[in-house]
Amino acid sequence: MRTRIEPADSGLPEAAELIRCGEIVAFPTETVYGLGGDAGNPIAVSRIYQAKGRPGNNPLIVHVPDVAAAQDCSAQFPAVAAVLAQRFWPGPLTLVLQRNERICPAVSAGRNTVAIRCPNHPIAQALLRGSGRPIAAPSANASGHTSPTTAQHVYDELAGRIGLILNGGPCSVGLESTVVDVTGIYPVILRPGAISQAMLAQCLAAAGMAMEVAALPSPAEKAIRDDLKSPGLLESHYAPRTVAYRFYASDLRGFNTYLRRKPNERIGLLCFEDFVAPTTVAKKRVLPSNAEACAKVLYSALRELDAVRCDVLLVQFPESIDGVWLAIEDRLRRATKELPL
């Protein structure tokens, strides 16, 4: 199949028609590019899984243009969901709700819940309204790889497997949405993102809902998490193709030992602005020390380093887990391994 990248504006009518016909299309959102198909059409949904090589047990996020459309796709829209949606939609927040019959069981990988998001991007909104369908859309990368934040990234991932990519330029957030399960007694964050635990808790408190917002589980709770909820929270995910190891600037023992033991390796380094890099690294990409700015360029930087075919990537970890740093840390953890000592 030939894959075309079209300017978003001129490509929109065709993209909307393809969605209505059960075909799949890649499109920009504010978080990352999505690979979309009609969430009510089992053929479209199976095409998404197939194009990505995604395991059938990892459910997809359904995109809708507004709260009313989210209510149309869910069996229940609890008060917590209404408050969070009112405050954060359109935006990088996904709510896990009870599914209704408008959504194919395959979207939810057979569960009775569905993850729903209202994206804050003019092209995504125009595609939703133009097609008139709820659009199931995972990130538009091959399963397990780094998410795409430009149309070219999507092409590099899925060329030959999809027909059309709408080009809306680089994504403004750069990390996937915060996923929050609101089907239980209190909300549980299944995947951290640009909307932090503190922002969620503050919003609920302001609405008079004094309740806990459970954060991403600690390693001790990992077993429950794995069993319970989001297959997308698998340990290894968002990964570059080159083997990547993590290190902290506050403890360079492993880093220095590695450089000493492997003097002939071609090393790619991903580090923050103030890190004094050894001159021996073959390729370096520097990340901003502001969390939002870092999130925006993180995946591009990883991809650029991945493309230069180093023997190994060494990835500096943020020392903070406040706000968006937690989401950055989470993605980098899944993309990297611990340095071998």
Strands 93-99 and 74-76: antiparallel
Confirm if 65 and 128 have CB atoms less than 8 A apart: yes
- DSSP per residue, 25-43: EEE--SSS-EEEEETT-HH
Q: Work out whether 111 is an interface residue with ligand TXA (CB under 6 A).
A: yes
At closest approach, how far in Å is the CB of 314 from ligand TXA? 26
Query: CA 14, CA 9: separation in Å to the nearest integer?
Result: 10
Q: Work out whether 84 is an interface residue with ligand TXA (CB under 6 A).
A: no
Q: Helix (H, G, I), strand (E, B), or coil: what is residue 113? A: strand
**Type of residue at 217:** P
Closest residue to ligand TXA, Cβ-based?
232
Q: Work out whether 91 is an interface residue with ligand TXA (CB under 6 A).
A: no
Binding footprint of Mg ion, residue count (CB under 5 A): 1
**List 23, 157, 176, 330, residue binding ligand TXA (CB under 6 A):** 176
At closest approach, how far in Å is the CB of 207 from ligand TXA? 24
Q: Work out whether 294 is an interface residue with ligand TXA (CB under 6 A).
A: no
**List 137, 188, 291, 295, residue binding ligand TXA (CB under 6 A):** 137
Closer to Mg ion by CB, 29 or 139: give it: 139
Q: Which two tokens stand for residue 291?
A: 């969390």
Q: Work out whether 37 is an interface residue with ligand TXA (CB under 6 A).
A: no
DSSP code at position 128: H
For residues 253-264, one letter each, b for 16 or more C-beta atoms within 10 angstroms of the residue's C-beta and e for the rest, the string is ebbeebbeeeee
- What phi, psi does 28 have (nearest 5°)? -80, 145
Q: Which two tokens stand for residue 188?
A: 């549980």
At closest approach, how far in Å is the CB of 207 from Mg ion? 30
Q: Work out whether 96 is an interface residue with ligand TXA (CB under 6 A).
A: yes
End-to-end CA distance of the chain: give it in Å, rounded.
45
Query: CA 137, CA 49: separation in Å to the nearest integer?
Result: 10
Q: Work out whether 139 is an interface residue with ligand TXA (CB under 6 A).
A: yes
Confirm if 240 and 335 have CB atoms less than 8 A apart: yes
> To the nearest 10°, the Cα dihedral for 16, 22, 176, 210?
90
Q: Work out whether 115 is an interface residue with ligand TXA (CB under 6 A).
A: yes
| Interacting positions 220-259 with ligand TXA (CB under 6 A) | 229-233
Query: CA 151, CA 229: separation in Å to the nearest integer?
Result: 30
**List 138, 148, 192, 240, residue binding ligand TXA (CB under 6 A):** 138
- What phi, psi does 206 have (nearest 5°)? -65, -25
Closer to ligand TXA by CB, 24 or 114: give it: 114
Closest residue to Mg ion, Cβ-based?
139
Closer to Mg ion by CB, 60 or 85: give it: 60
Sign of CA dihedral 105, 108, 113, 119: negative
Q: Which two tokens stand for residue 281?
A: 């690294």
Q: Work out whether 178 is an interface residue with Mg ion (CB under 5 A).
A: no
59 binds, among Mg ion, ligand TXA, none (CB under 5 to 8 A by kind): ligand TXA
Confirm if 283 and 271 have CB atoms less than 8 A apart: no
At closest approach, how far in Å is the CB of 54 from ligand TXA? 8
| Interacting positions 123-142 with Mg ion (CB under 5 A) | 139
At closest approach, how far in Å is the CB of 231 from Mg ion? 11
For residues 150-172, one letter each, b for 16 or more C-beta atoms within 10 angstroms of the residue's C-beta and e for the rest, the string is bbebbbbbbeebbbbbbbbebbb
**List 8, 26, 179, 328, residue binding ligand TXA (CB under 6 A):** 179
At closest approach, how far in Å is the CB of 161 from ligand TXA? 16
Q: Work out whether 177 is an interface residue with Mg ion (CB under 5 A).
A: no
Q: Which residues bind Mg ion (CB under 5 A)?
A: 139
Q: Which residues bind ligand TXA (CB under 6 A)?
A: 29, 31-32, 34, 58-61, 92, 94, 96, 108, 111, 113-115, 117, 119, 137-139, 176-177, 179, 190-191, 229-233
